[in-house]
Each structure stands twice: as structure tokens, then as C-alpha cells.
Amino acid sequence: MLELKTENISAAYKVLKFIGQAFIGGKFVDAKSGDTFVTENPATGKVITSIANCGKADVDLAVEAARKAFESGAWSRIDPVERKHVLLKWANLIEKYSGELALLDSLEAGKPIAECVNTDLPETLVALRWHAEAADKIYGQVAPTSADYLGLVIREPIGVVAAVLPWNFPAMLVAWKAAPALAMGNSLIIKPAEQTSLSTLRMVDLAHEAGIPAGVINVVTGFGESVGEPLGRHMDVDVVSFTGSTEVGRYFLKYSAESNLKRVILECGGKSPQVVMADVQDLDMVAENVIAAAFSNMGENCSCGSRLIVHKDIKRALLEKLVVQTKSWSLGDPLHPETKIGSMIEKGHMERVLTYIESGKKEGAEVVLGGQRAHENSGGYFVEPTIFDGVTSGMKIAREEIFGPVLSVLTFETMDEAIQMANNTQYGLAASVYTSNVVTAHKLARSIKAGTVSVNCFSEGNITTPFGGFKLSGFGGRDKGIYAHDQYTELKTIWYNNRQI
């Protein structure tokens, strides 16, 4: 693991190598067209390297390779114990090169290097190892029948899985999608976000080194219209697992309907509430968690706690603590070990976040902290962590997903009002509640419509718990936990007549 000292980070950066080709059929290859696009460092605006700009022809080759590998049985029909051992070897190689992978994610996504080293890569390893260990521990069932019959209910790998990834957690989302799909014996095609391809390509290079057969795992780099849509419409892709915006998620449902009715798994946006009751006793702890929910990963997180719904009697006291604690979060160079808030992913996204901030001002919300672009001379795309007070549910900043470091503060007087405000959104991915009363905690947790509700903390659970949402936040399945394996398998009934014929 990379030691978080400036000199060590600088030395590791100098020897860092970039893979810019696609990976199809066990080999790194250029796009059939020969086209490339550039990936940049959003903290400086400078080009890092060129990436293969793939299209439909490359998608067809990747699907062909994946299908051939699947039908060969080289991975799909081997003993699950063997798959487990190969996946664990892959995890060990990722651990060996985790410092390199952390640097790649920090450079491309503008993520603080400390967050990549201390959170993202360790969670990547946990996911890979947990799902690998599950490969030989998921049982079928025997149906209740008379002695004349035997009914077996078994799970078979579904076939070719396309994983379309977001840019906010590049390495970790590879593990969330790839590990359960591969553990169950499927072949896989990964489309990384065009902004963050480098760690995915390096991880798949390591997967090949670990012994995953050629064609079982492929990476097709490029853009949504040239790679994502052909994958979504391909007649020989059996599943698309997508994490990203609700808008693009709708497209994958359309592609499925207009092609082969492939299974579609969506983890989309969020506008997560953080409800703070008047009876909380440790406001410092609450403030610490609220800030982490709102500003970790620059707010570029589907489960970002962007709406603070706080009882009016403690709003002022909590807000004062939020301002003090947020000021201690250093904003700047993602490669500096002390940085806690890095850059936005790209210029267009920074401008989108700033537009939302201006909208909040125009609609009458009060900027308590931040609200401006920062470090403009760096060439990068930085936005100050911003806290709005006096927000109402009808304001744009309270309704729409911003995906940036913007916290909206709303107040309530009764529990019923708090529940109504928390549920006043088209999303339902996550929520947090803070209270010293267990009955209140239970009522709030049961009443809020969200896939994960954390109590007296900000959390998405751990690898054992399913992650996904209600309403426009999710569709068709869950990441993490044993449930993640279900969506990459088909249920088959085998019915035996035990009578002599």
C-alpha cells in the first residue's frame, strides 16, 4: 500500500504507467477505428494519456469473445472452488499494486489520495474476496415432493454480462460488479466511464495474470453512445448492470425492450435526507457524520446526504458546528496527503454544480459557507464545500441531484413533518436518522422510503448488506451482499420421475 507521504506519492507518480488500449479476448488492442480520446487530470486540466475510442465493431468483438469463452466452459463450468481460488489470487495482485491503482483513481477522478488509499482500495479488496468466498457456498434447493418425484432448483450462470460503470468510484465499482458476476461463472464486458478508464484496465490486466481465461473478462473503452448503447442493444448480451444517472438508466431499459429483453440492473441517482431529531445528545458527532455524508468524495456520490432535515430547536447550534468542522476540511490538490476535498470530475460538471449554487441563491436560500469556484489558477475544477440555510422543499437545490459538495438545510417541527420532507423526493437510495430514542429511530427508519437507512451514523452498510434504492434510485437488483449473486444467474427447475419406466 502507498505510504501517505508527499515524497512517496511523488516518487510513485513518476514511475506510473498508463494502459490506454481496450482489452478483448485476453489481449490489449487498439480500437478497430484507430481512434483515441484523451483523459485528463481534473485537478490541473492537463492531459494524462490517450485511451482507445471504441465503437460498435469493438463491442461486437468483445461480446463474441465473451460468448465463446462462456460456451467453452473454461470458466462457466469449472468447479466453483477453482473460480474462488483464481478470484482470490486476483485480489492478492490488486492488493500488491493497490498504491498504483489508488494513484490512477486520484489522478483521473480528482479524488483525494488519502480516500483512495484508506477507503476505496481496501473496500475493493473486501468486495472481491467476499464474493469469491461465496462462489462455493451458494446452494440450490430440493423441492418438497412425493417419493415418486425429485424436484431440483438450481442456479446457472446467465451468460454474458455487461457492466457499465460510473466515474466516482472507479476501482471499487469494478469489484462490486465483476466479483459476483464472475463468481457465478459468467463472462463479463466492462465499460468504464470515459473519464476514468485507467484503473479498470490495470485491474483487468491483473485479472488475466491471476488466471482468468481469455475472453472471460473484457474492457471496451469509450463513450455512452458508441459503446454503452451497442452493449445495451446487443442481442447476445444477457445482462446489463449499470450505475449512473437515472436519465441514462432509462435508456438501458429502452434498449432492452427494443432488443432481446436482456435483464437490466440499475443503481441510479439519489437525494438522500439526513433527519436530525431534537433529542440528540452529541451534536459534534452528528455534525461529523453530516459533513461526511455531504462532502466526502466532493459530494459526487449517489448516496450523498445532500438534504439536512433538522428540528428547528437545534438547527442553529448544529449549523454552527457544521460550519466550524467543514472549515477544517482542506480543499486542494488531490495528491496531497492532507487533502479531504478534491476537484470535480470535469469542467462541465463543475459548471453544472455552480449553476445549482446560483439557483439556490436566486430562490432565496442563504449561503452560510462556500458557494464559489476555488483554486481557479490551478487549471482544475474545484468548488468550495457549500452550506445553504433557509432551504424549502420546493427549491431546485432541495429537489434535484447536484452531485457536488452542496448541503441544503431544511427545518421541521414534528416527526410526521420530518418523514414527509424526507420522502418528498423522486429518489430513494439512502437516508440517515439521528435520535437518542430507539422508538423514534425505529419509526423513522421504517417510514423513510430508501434502500438503506443508517441510524446515528452515515453509512451504506458493509459488503454483507445489499445496496440499491427505491423509486428512481434503482431497478432490477442490488449490488453487494449475497443478493448480488442472484441477478447474474438463472433459476432452473429439473424434475425427475423416480418411477420405473
CATH number reported for the structural domain that contains residue 235 in this entry: 3.40.605.10
Residues 411 and 487 in one domain: no
Residues 334 and 252 in one domain: no
pLDDT of 61 = 98
Sign of CA dihedral 444, 265, 342, 362: negative
**Count of CA atoms in the C-beta half-sphere (13 A) of 424:** 17
Residue 143 included in any domain: no
Phi first, then psi: what are they for 341, rounded to 5°?
-130, 120
pLDDT of 1 = 76
Q: pLDDT tens for residues 454-469?
A: 999 999 999 999 999 9
> What are the distances in angstroms from CA 469 to CA 246, 451, 455?
12, 4, 17
Distance CA(147)–CA(131), nearest Å, equals 36
Domain that holds residue 345: 273-463
Residue 206 included in any domain: yes
> What are the distances in angstroms from CA 98 to CA 21, 124, 287?
21, 10, 32
Residue 23 included in any domain: no
Distance CA(464)–CA(53), nearest Å, equals 36
Residue 497 included in any domain: no
Residues 316 and 361 in one domain: yes
Q: Indicate which CATH number applies to the domain containing 440.
A: 3.40.309.10
Residues 335 and 404 in one domain: yes
Contact residues for 416 (Cβ-Cβ < 8 A; gap 6+): none
Residues 234 and 176 in one domain: yes
> What are the distances in angstroms from CA 49 to CA 107, 169, 228, 335, 431?
11, 20, 22, 18, 38
Distance CA(139)–CA(286), nearest Å, equals 42
Residue 332 included in any domain: yes
The low-confidence residues of the chain, meaning pLDDT below 70, are 501
Residue 225 grid cell: 453512445
Distance CA(27)–CA(486), nearest Å, equals 30
Residue 35 included in any domain: no
Residues 228 and 337 in one domain: no
Catalytic residue among 116, 268, 302, 304: 302
Distance CA(14)–CA(1), nearest Å, equals 16
Does 267 participate in catalysis according to the annotation?
yes
H or E segment at 19?
Answer: none
Residues 280 and 390 in one domain: yes
Residues 111 and 227 in one domain: yes
Q: How are beta strands 141-143 and 427-428 bridged, if at all? A: unpaired
Q: Do residues 158 and 171 make contact, with C-beta atoms less than 8 angstroms apart?
A: no
CA nearest 160: which of 184, 138, 139, 136? 184
Residue 99 included in any domain: yes
Number of folded domains in the chain? 2
Residues 303 and 217 in one domain: no
Residues 321 and 388 in one domain: yes
Catalytic residue among 40, 115, 123, 267: 267
Residues 229 and 306 in one domain: no
Could you give the maximum distance between any two Cα atoms of the chain, in Å? Answer: 84
Residues 315 and 230 in one domain: no
Residue 102 included in any domain: yes
Does 95 participate in catalysis according to the annotation?
no
> What are the distances in angstroms from CA 221 to CA 3, 6, 50, 193, 317?
30, 32, 11, 8, 49
Phi first, then psi: what are they for 46, rounded to 5°?
-95, 150
